[in-house]
């Protein structure tokens, strides 16, 4: 059974604790239900295991947390939908395929708004003609996933300009609002949840 929980807007530490608690329970007893947490964070930077020193300046204007996911540094803020799937993955589902499905959920969501999203070779995440719009960073332990993906709707992009997002220097970050001015996060969230239930549920569980 899959349960989707909308946490609303959260401080990063708060959501991380909820996520880790579910993850540890799930890893201890994989038979308990799968959970997907959805949230928006107040401004925060997170750095994954592949972050290099040159990706982050000395002085940032928001807190930064070092976490156990893959990938480099990124920003989370209001106007960005974040999805944390805490799932028992199918035994034949590789990490690469899992990431592919998460990207596909974002691509399908963008398509509903007439925005063409696509992958780029050698990079994780989702890109558009105007820049990177979707981000993926995960951890899998004993077949259980945590962390996840984020989709920019109308987030303050100036925070990204202070770092090298995902360690990629020459590709800008963009929002859905760059294509559809005035687009509402709540509406995108509803479409995103529908994409998760239609595409992700069938392939992930």
Integer Cα distance of 162 and 47 in angstroms:
14
Integer Cα distance of 37 and 41 in angstroms:
12
Strand-pairing partners, residue 203, are none
Q: Which region, left, alpha or beta, applies to residue 105 given φ > 0 means left and ψ of -120 to 50 means alpha?
A: alpha
Q: Quick check: is 174 catalytic?
A: no
Nearest of 69, 87, 108 to residue 32 by alpha carbon: 87
Query: The tokens of 49 are what?
Result: 């295991």
Q: Which of the following is catalytic: 86, 87, 166, 193?
A: 166
DSSP code at position 61: S
Integer Cα distance of 105 and 197 in angstroms:
9
CA distances from 134 to 30, 47, 131 (A): 29, 16, 10
How many C-beta atoms lie closer than 10 Å to residue 71's C-beta?
A: 22
Active site residues: 166
């Amino acid at each position: 059974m899959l349960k989707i929980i909308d946490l609303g807007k959260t401080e990063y530490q708060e959501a991380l604790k909820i996520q880790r608690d579910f993850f540890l329970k799930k890893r201890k007893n994989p038979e308990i239900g799968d959970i997907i947490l959805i949230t928006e964070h107040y401004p925060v930077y997170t750095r994954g295991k592949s972050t290099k020193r040159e990706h982050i300046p000395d002085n940032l204007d928001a807190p930064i947390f070092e976490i156990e996911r893959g990938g480099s540094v990124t920003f989370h803020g209001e106007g960005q939908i974040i999805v944390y799937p805490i799932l028992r993955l199918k035994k034949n589902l590789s990490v690469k395929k899992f990431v592919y499905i998460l990207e596909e959920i974002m691509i399908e969501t963008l398509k509903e708004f007439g925005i063409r999203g696509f992958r780029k070779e050698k990079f994780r995440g989702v890109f558009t003609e105007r820049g990177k719009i979707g981000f993926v960073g995960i951890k899998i332990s004993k077949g259980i996933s945590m962390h996840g993906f984020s989709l920019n709707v109308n987030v303050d992009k100036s925070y990204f300009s202070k770092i090298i997002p995902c360690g990629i220097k020459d590709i800008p970050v963009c929002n859905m609002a760059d294509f559809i001015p005035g687009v509402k996060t709540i509406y995108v969230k509803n479409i995103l949840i529908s994409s998760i239930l239609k595409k992700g549920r069938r392939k992930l569980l």
